[in-house]
Amino acid sequence: MRSSLGVAGALFAVALLFSGVSRAEDVAEQLSSAPAKPVAAQKSSGLKGGTADHSKFEALKGPFADGSEVTKACLSCHTEAGKHFMKSIHWTWDYTNPKTGQKLGKHNVINNFCTNARGNEGMCAQCHAGYGWKDDTFDFSNQNNIDCLVCHDTTATYYRLPNSRGHDACGVMFEGKKPIDLPKVAQHVGLPGRQNCGTCHYNGGGGDGVKHGDLDSSLNAPSKALDVHMSPDGGNFACTNCHVSDKHIVSGSRYDMIAKDEKGPGAPGSRRDIATCESCHSSKPHDKPSLIGFQLDTHAERIACQTCHIPEIARGGVATMVDWDWSTAGKFIDGKGYALEEYKQGDGKERHTYWTIKGDFKWNENFAPTYKWFDGRMMYTTIDTKIDDSEQPVPINAVMGGPNDPKARIWPFKEMHTRLPWDPKNKSLVYNHLWGKDDTAFWGNFDMVKSVAAGMKIENRPFSGEVGFLPTVSNWPITHMVAPKTDAVKCGECHTEKSRLAGLPGIYMPAHSTVRWLDLLGYAMFVTTIGGVVLHGLARVVMGKKKTHGEV
Amino acid sequence: MTDLSMAAGTPPVKTKRSVMIYSRYERFWHWSQAILIFVLALSGFAVHGTLPFVKFSTAVTIHSWAAIALIVLWIFTTFWHFTTGQWKQYLPQISGLPAVIRFYAWGILTGAPHPYSKTLRRKQNALQSLAYLFFMVMIGPALWSSGIVYLTYPWWASWAIGTLGLPIVAFVHTAAAFLMITFVVIHVYMTTTGKTVTHYVRTMITGYDSIELTPAEIAYLEEERSGLLGK
Ligand code: HEM
């Protein structure tokens, strides 16, 4: 192991060596990748006009000892906001899907990036809209624990820290950050802009663009070609313009999707309560009476809008991760952890291709999605699932629905492939204790058996003591980065032999789906006839016969 | 005995005269149908993926509009057939079929005359009429009906979910299209087998052909339908 590392280190000049076990300041850099620019007037579906100037409120003058004191001040006027917010998934991290009955939410699920938030709250709850969740002692009933500012700051000077310290080497995290001027932030609150949501949603999976492929910091100021809705040259939509909210419950959760919205925009002026394309554009949006327009409306019955209108994933210059191998984590050079940065993304930034604390990564950008039938349901492989590993990769979230289901449509997905730690004896996924200043956390001790044992102990789950690495795939529905209509996927990219949709069951597409024997027979008949006619004509010429017919 | 030339027991002396045998509408119909079928065949096989250099959406647009044009032409022509009584053209041919079969079966051996010559009212010989019959009764309708069903797919798409509806329609349409282009090759070749290579084509363009007429027919045409007689 050491020797191959030596070779790798020598081969790649970009290989970076660090004295610390993890390059924690890098996490900081990645998690705050959104350029610090104040929110410009973005279009939100919420109230417009602004009847209150928060800088004039006595309660917001400060001084504030911490964010929680700001929250207290907020709630002194917004008396119901706390109660409302505490019902939202942004607070509970707990969600039971009404269609599948599965218990989901970030508190419960295992994904194939940094695996599980459970047991790692000290780090992961950086993206929990609350203050101080580091273990099970966190008080979910205390409204003062809510973090209003992360969503409502408009100065782009507010940031969050991990709720607990990691291993010693991670102590450098966020060093050099300017202290937050809380009164200033409190006096400049407003509706959430893209960068507010992006603080967490751009950085899922551990860094800018890592997880989704259609959500990254390029959406802070996207060109129209990247995103017609969010571009300042286009609609300049804030996320909340589509993800409308009601009492702080934001619509459009990935845990329960609407794959086909047959209601459309509803009656004029009726409130939209979902984030589907159809809720604004209707289900028959194409130009008519153009013949192609009619055809495209018919397509929309079976094909999600996103399938044609988001031609490629990660088009903004920020790459997304497509492959992660946890089995190679924990390698050292001269006893030290290290990182390689051998992928240079569109905007010039280099991304990790190896990192001692995480393993090997592969990246991609500007690539076509993978298409699947989808009826809005996903079956998650959870910590409770007895895994059937006979077919690999094992889906972390299996996309449900097929061609015979009228509610299903063909959707675009980013597939993420990961060799993920699991318990091969018990055939289950595992909670891995990654973060913490203790002697079991993987990030610091680099003993996966120990860290998984610690992770499984939190809920007293069975663990055989053996850790294997299971090939898994997760499916990330692609729905942002909608291109201008002129850049939509062309008919001929699917209606062709090498179709984008090749291999999907239950489709008939002219130019792609042909009956081979009919074609062979047909072409043979046609060509033979031409041959016969030519021969006959030649024979007529040769035999000098101008007429072959007796009559006339 | 509707057919003048076949009425007489002893054939009267005939003279060759240039007569308009394809009316203006018939020629218009023939050539516009020919062009449309040509366009439909090219665009259709582009849709099918045979001609990958044609943009798919362009092919669909052309194919669909040409198909609609052909349907309109078809409706007009059906109307024309009935208002002009031209539909009767097909009846004596069908009833005359046994004669031509007899000719090919044994008459040809005994030196009997060909039972048909092109006459004022009859424009095709027996083989031709069989081919056209096959075309009119089989390939054409199969192609058009499957095409119309294919064209209206947006209206029955949701009903056909989970069925083989579309693949079957497409299969019939494609199979008929192969037969059609094969027929077109034979048909075009057959037009070169007249007195000269271009004789039939010229006839279909000008509408005039020289036909052997009985004195009675000439007298009839000169008096009643002088416009039909050429020089
Ligand atoms: C009334 C006449 C016709 C109608 C209504 C019709 C209609 C259609 C329609 C709706 C399609 C599906 C593709 C599209 O949306 O454009 C199609 C495909 C096609 N058509 Fe036609 N068509 C007609 C005549 C013809 C003719 C005359 C030919 C060839 C000689 C032809 C050959 C084809 C072929 C090869 C395809 C592709 C089939 C496949 O791969 O699924 N069509 N036609």
What spatial distance separates the first Cα and last Cα of chain A, rounded to whole Å? 93
The minimal CB distance from A512 to the residues B49, B114, B178 is found for B49
pLDDT surpasses 70 at B113: no
d(CA A347, CA A309): 23
Tell if the CB–CB gap between B171 and A518 is shorter than 8 Å: yes
pLDDT surpasses 60 at B25: yes
pLDDT surpasses 80 at A432: yes
Best of B36, B61, B77, B143 to mutate for ligand 1, by most ligand atoms within 8 A of CB?
B143
Chain segment B178-218, per-residue pLDDT in tens = 999 998 888 888 777 666 777 777 777 776 777 776 777 77
Name the CA radius of gyration of chain B, rounded: 21
> Mean pLDDT across the stretch A532-547?
77
A538 contact residues in B (CB cutoff 8 A): none
pLDDT at A9: 36
pLDDT surpasses 60 at B29: yes
How many angstroms away from the CA of B110 is the closest CA of chain A?
Answer: 16
More confident residue, B9 or B86: B86
- B138 falls within a domain: yes
**Opening angle at CA A142, ends A136 and A148, nearest 5:** 105
Name the CA radius of gyration of chain A, rounded: 28
B49 contact residues in A (CB cutoff 8 A): 495-497, 510-512, 514
Domains contained in chain B, number: 1
Partner B contacted by A531 (CB < 8 A): no
| CATH (domain of B36) | 1.20.950
pLDDT surpasses 80 at A358: yes
Partner A contacted by B7 (CB < 8 A): no
Q: How confident is the model at residue A40 (pLDDT cuts 50, 70, 90)?
A: low
pLDDT at B140: 83
A510 contact residues in B (CB cutoff 8 A): 47-49, 170
Structure tokens at B170: 């497409």
> Mean pLDDT across the stretch A217-239?
94
d(CA A434, CA A27): 14
Chain segment B68-101, per-residue pLDDT in tens = 999 998 888 888 877 876 655 555 455 555 554 5
Residue whose Cα lies nearest atom 40 of ligand 1: it is B48
pLDDT at A64: 94
pLDDT surpasses 80 at A100: yes
pLDDT at B11: 60
Q: How confident is the model at residue B124 (pLDDT cuts 50, 70, 90)?
A: low
What is the whole-number distance in angstroms between the Cα of residue B172 and the centre of ligand 1? 10
Partner A contacted by B16 (CB < 8 A): no
- B9 falls within a domain: no
- B7 falls within a domain: no
Nearest atom, ligand 1, residue B148 CA = 5
What is the whole-number distance in angstroms between the Cα of residue A285 and the centre of ligand 1? 26
- B34 falls within a domain: yes
Nearest atom, ligand 1, residue B74 CA = 1
The domain in which residue B115 lies consists of 24-228
pLDDT at B204: 75
pLDDT surpasses 70 at A341: yes
What is the whole-number distance in angstroms between the Cα of residue B181 and the centre of ligand 1? 12
> Mean pLDDT across the stretch A424-440?
93
Residue whose Cα lies nearest atom 15 of ligand 1: it is B60
- B117 falls within a domain: yes
Identify the closest residue of chain A to B168 by CA–CA distance.
A508
Partner B contacted by A36 (CB < 8 A): no
How many angstroms away from the CA of B163 is the closest CA of chain A?
Answer: 8
More confident residue, A357 or B217: A357
Chain segment A469-515, per-residue pLDDT in tens = 999 999 999 999 999 999 999 999 999 999 999 999 999 999 999 89
pTM: 0.85
pLDDT at B1: 35
- Taken in order A37, A39, A41, A44, is the CA torsion positive or negative? positive
Bridge pairing between strands A320-325 and A409-423? parallel
Chain segment A240-287, per-residue pLDDT in tens = 998 988 899 998 888 889 888 888 887 766 666 788 999 889 889 999
Torsion of CA B188, B191, B192, B197, to 10 degrees: -130
- B166 falls within a domain: yes
Best of B45, B150, B156, B164 to mutate for ligand 1, by most ligand atoms within 8 A of CB?
B150
pLDDT at B31: 87
d(CA A114, CA B174): 52
Chain segment B134-179, per-residue pLDDT in tens = 776 788 889 989 999 999 998 898 888 888 899 999 999 999 999 9
- B14 falls within a domain: no
Average pLDDT, chain B: 75
Average pLDDT, chain A: 87
Residue whose tokens read 């996903």: A378
pLDDT at B219: 72
pLDDT at B106: 46
Chain segment A167-181, per-residue pLDDT in tens = 765 545 556 678 899
Tell if the CB–CB gap between A533 and B189 is shorter than 8 Å: yes
Tell if the CB–CB gap between B60 and A522 is shorter than 8 Å: no
pLDDT at B111: 45
ipTM of predicted complex: 0.81
- B221 falls within a domain: yes
Specify the amino acid at residue A269. Answer: G
A495 contact residues in B (CB cutoff 8 A): 47, 49, 56
A522 contact residues in B (CB cutoff 8 A): 174-175, 177-178
What is the whole-number distance in angstroms between the Cα of residue A531 and the centre of ligand 1? 25
How many angstroms away from the CA of A551 is the closest CA of chain B?
Answer: 6
B200 contact residues in A (CB cutoff 8 A): none
> Mean pLDDT across the stretch A322-333?
95
**Opening angle at CA B143, ends B141 and B146, nearest 5:** 95
> Mean pLDDT across the stretch A97-115?
91
d(CA A448, CA A330): 9
Q: Report in angstroms the alpha-carbon separations of B164 from A108, A500, B167.
A: 43, 22, 5
d(CA A478, CA A434): 29
The minimal CB distance from B48 to the residues A302, A510, A529 is found for A510
> Mean pLDDT across the stretch A424-431?
95
